């Protein structure tokens, strides 16, 4: 094991920081187990981080921080079954390339591919889908180091309760050292992106959901403008965006120009409605097809803070109308579009879509802008309809609330009491959401 000197850690958005007492980079499951045992002997808490893309303090390591960079091996690829086992710290972008080389792919994923596989999984990272669910539904087995330093595996057949709890486990049940993914044959997606007016999107959202494998849309606050995205499987050959068009849309308009806009609205918040009107028009219609992960994900270089709530799918349209009404009442000036995604129900106990078809509503602000009033206003609305906060995105919920919206929350806490009675894997965030 190669210890590195104590250093400050901060997350991608820069809103979470800590200087852990120790930092280590384990290079094998055995080294993780040894680190956990040593930490226990010294009375230290332990946490492995991913790439710090959570906006919450989920990855804060107060005592021993285990960096994931030494745990990136690919253990096995079985193209016949689609089962692929990789170590916890492998970044998603490397796994996506690896899968593609073997003619395989994840069935669905979120907007970016920078996270580690374990970090993304532990907060139930998701994209949008009619049939294909989030990452926690694409796992066949996990290998974990528990608080007593033992190494266990779990799957639907082996310790099924641990499997259902630990897939979206917030790092609270153990250090995940390897994940076996259930992959599918690689596929191309045809992306149809089109601007559309708010009224039309709300009137047709059920139709779009039923007719498309992956439907999502963005609403540009203070305007009537939305950008809809429909992704569906298509036979080849791929027709990717030209390098220039890809750069213009994904790099320049979505990141460089958008970054400049946010620097402006940071100084002149009143300009947000005007520039949102321009943004809604600038991101026009386009159609292309490409390898699935290249369509699902895109670069995000403008730093922001985010809150996202999962609500029952049938509540989506009324919730959006209420959200828009809030914009009429409050003095908010918001330059970031609001993202709406859909997901089938999931079965990992703490997946935000556990047991119900869900709609996700995500709100963002530029990383230097204040978020408190806006996020709180949206959060009040979302919690009034049983919303569940994304574990990796900012929220103020505690255990008393969370147990009312997660049917298996008590079972999760009981399992945690059994496996980690001394709270080896605790941090301020787990104390907030689990209450101990």
Ligand X SMILES: Cc1cc2nc3c(=O)[nH]c(=O)nc-3n(C[C@H](O)[C@H](O)[C@H](O)COP(=O)(O)OP(=O)(O)OC[C@H]3O[C@@H](n4cnc5c(N)ncnc54)[C@H](O)[C@@H]3O)c2cc1C
* Stretch of residues binding ligand X (CB under 6 A), selected from 54-62, 93-101, 248-256, 279-287: 54-62
- The residues near 296 (Cβ < 8 Å, ≥ 6 apart) are 108, 109, 110, 111, 127, 189, 214, 231
| Helix (H) / strand (E) containing 340 | strand 338-343
- Binding residue (CB under 6 A) for ligand X from 20, 26, 52, 82: 52
Closest CA to 305 of 336, 339, 279: 336
**Residue 167 Cβ, how far from ligand X at the closest point, in Å?**
11
d(Cα 331, Cα 327) in Å, to the nearest integer?
A: 7
Q: Which of 68, 82, 221, 225 binds ligand X (CB under 6 A)?
A: 68
Using CB under 6 A as the binding rule, whether residue 129 contacts ligand X is answered as no
Residue nearer to ligand X on the CB measure, 327 or 351: 351
Q: Determine the Cα–Cα distance for residues 154 and 132; give it in Å rounded to an integer.
A: 22
Report the residue from 24, 29, 45, 51 that binds ligand X according to the rule CB under 6 A. 51
* Residues between 375 and 414 that touch ligand X (CB under 6 A): 390, 392
Cα–Cα nearest to 86, from 147, 143, 151: 143
Instruction: Copy the structure tokens of residue 319.
Output: 């919730």
Our finding on whether 307 is near ligand X (CB under 6 A) is no
Q: Is 217 in the site for ligand X (CB under 6 A)?
A: no
Convert residues 169-188 into a mask of x (bound to ligand X by CB under 6 A) and - (unbound). -xx---xx------------
Burial, 345: exposed, middle or buried (Cβ in 10 Å; 0-12, 13-18, 19+)?
Answer: middle
Scanning residues 4 to 43, which ones bind ligand X (CB under 6 A)?
12
Question: Would you say 280 and 195 are in contact if contact means Cβ atoms under 8 Å apart?
Answer: yes
Stretch that binds ligand X, among 123-131, 201-209, 211-219, 322-330 (CB under 6 A): 123-131
Q: Which of 18, 35, 118, 415 binds ligand X (CB under 6 A)?
A: 118
Q: How far is the CB of 430 from ligand X (least distance, A)?
A: 8
* Residue from the set 45, 122, 212, 292 that interacts with ligand X by CB under 6 A: 122
* Binder of ligand X out of 46, 64, 95, 120 (CB under 6 A): 120
Q: Which of 18, 26, 36, 126 binds ligand X (CB under 6 A)?
A: 126
User: C-beta of 127: minimal distance to ligand X in Å?
Assistant: 6
Q: Give how many residues touch ligand X by CB under 6 A.
A: 33
Part of the chain binding ligand X (CB under 6 A), chosen from 108-116, 221-229, 231-239, 273-281: 108-116
Residue span 241-280 as binding mask against ligand X, x where in contact by CB under 6 A, dash where not: ----------------------------------------
| Distances, alpha carbon 230 to alpha carbons 253, 286, 316, 389, in Å | 20, 11, 18, 25
Minimum distance between the CB of residue 392 and ligand X, rounded to whole angstroms? Answer: 2
Structure tokens at 66: 């285990």
Q: Which two tokens stand for residue 122?
A: 């532990």
Residue 106: which of 74, 67, 137 has the closest Cα? 137
Binds ligand X by CB under 6 A, chosen from 96, 113, 116, 228? 116
Candidate list 54, 276, 279, 335; residue touching ligand X; CB under 6 A: 54
61-72: buried (b, 16+ CB within 10 Å) or exposed (e) per residue?
bbbbbbbbebbb
Write down the least CB distance from residue 55 to ligand X, Å. Answer: 7
CA 18 from centroid of its chain's CA atoms: 21
CA-derived radius of gyration, the chain? 21
List of residues 6+ apart from 155 with CB closer than 8 A = 140, 141, 142, 163, 180
Range in contact with ligand X (rule: CB under 6 A) among 75-83, 118-126, 226-234, 325-333: 118-126
The reply to whether 48 sits near ligand X by the rule CB under 6 A is: yes
Contacts of 360 (CB under 8 A, 6+ apart): 126, 128, 308, 309, 310, 311, 339, 340, 341, 342, 343, 352, 390
Which range of residues in 97-105, 122-130, 192-200, 282-290 is near ligand X by CB under 6 A?
A: 122-130
What end-to-end distance do the CA atoms of the chain give, in Å? 31
Residue numbers at the binding site for ligand X (CB under 6 A): 12, 47-54, 58-59, 68, 88, 110-112, 115-116, 118-120, 122-123, 125-127, 170-171, 175-176, 300, 390, 392
């Amino acid at each position: 094991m190669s210890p590195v000197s104590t250093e400050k850690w901060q997350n991608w958005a820069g809103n979470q920081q800590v200087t852990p007492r120790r930092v280590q980079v384990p290079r094998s499951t055995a080294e993780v187990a040894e680190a956990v045992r040593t930490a226990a002997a010294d009375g230290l808490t332990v946490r492995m981080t991913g790439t710090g893309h959570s906006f919450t303090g989920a990855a804060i390591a107060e005592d021993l921080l285990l960096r994931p960079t030494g745990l990136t091996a690919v253990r096995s690829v079985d193209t016949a079954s689609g089962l692929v086992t990789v170590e916890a710290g492998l970044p998603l972008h490397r796994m996506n390339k690896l899968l593609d080389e073997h003619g395989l792919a994840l069935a669905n994923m979120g907007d970016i591919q920078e996270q580690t596989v374990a970090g993304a999984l532990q907060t139930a990272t998701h994209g949008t889908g009619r049939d294909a669910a989030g990452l926690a539904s694409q796992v066949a087995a996990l290998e974990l180091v528990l608080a007593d330093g033992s190494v266990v595996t779990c799957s639907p057949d082996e310790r099924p309760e641990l499997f259902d709890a630990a897939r979206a486990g917030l790092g609270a049940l153990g250090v995940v050292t390897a994940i076996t993914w259930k992959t599918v044959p690689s596929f191309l997606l045809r992306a149809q992106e089109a601007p559309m007016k708010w009224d039309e999107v709300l009137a047709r959202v059920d139709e779009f959901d039923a007719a498309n494998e992956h439907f999502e849309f963005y609403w540009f606050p203070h305007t009537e403008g939305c950008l809809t995205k429909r992704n569906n499987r298509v036979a080849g050959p791929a027709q990717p965006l030209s390098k220039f068009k890809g750069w213009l849309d994904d790099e320049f308009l979505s990141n460089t120009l958008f970054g400049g806009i946010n620097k402006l609205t940071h100084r002149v918040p009143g300009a947000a409605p005007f520039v949102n009107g321009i943004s809604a028009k600038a991101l026009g219609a386009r159609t292309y097809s490409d390898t699935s992960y290249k369509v699902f994900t895109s670069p995000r270089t403008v730093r922001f803070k985010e809150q996202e709530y999962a609500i029952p799918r049938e509540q989506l349209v009324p919730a959006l109308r209420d959200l828009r009404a809030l914009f009429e009442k409050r003095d908010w000036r918001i330059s970031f579009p609001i993202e709406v995604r859909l997901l089938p129900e999931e079965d990992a106990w703490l997946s935000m879509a556990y047991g119900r078809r869900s709609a996700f509503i995500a709100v963002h602000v530029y990383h230097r802008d204040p978020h408190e009033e806006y996020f709180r206003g949206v959060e009040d609305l979302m919690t009034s309809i049983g919303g569940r906060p994304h574990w990796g995105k900012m929220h103020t919920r505690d255990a008393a609330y969370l147990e009312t919206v997660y049917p298996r929350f008590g079972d999760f806490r009981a399992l945690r009491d059994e496996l980690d009675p001394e709270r080896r894997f605790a941090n301020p965030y787990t104390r907030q959401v689990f209450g101990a």
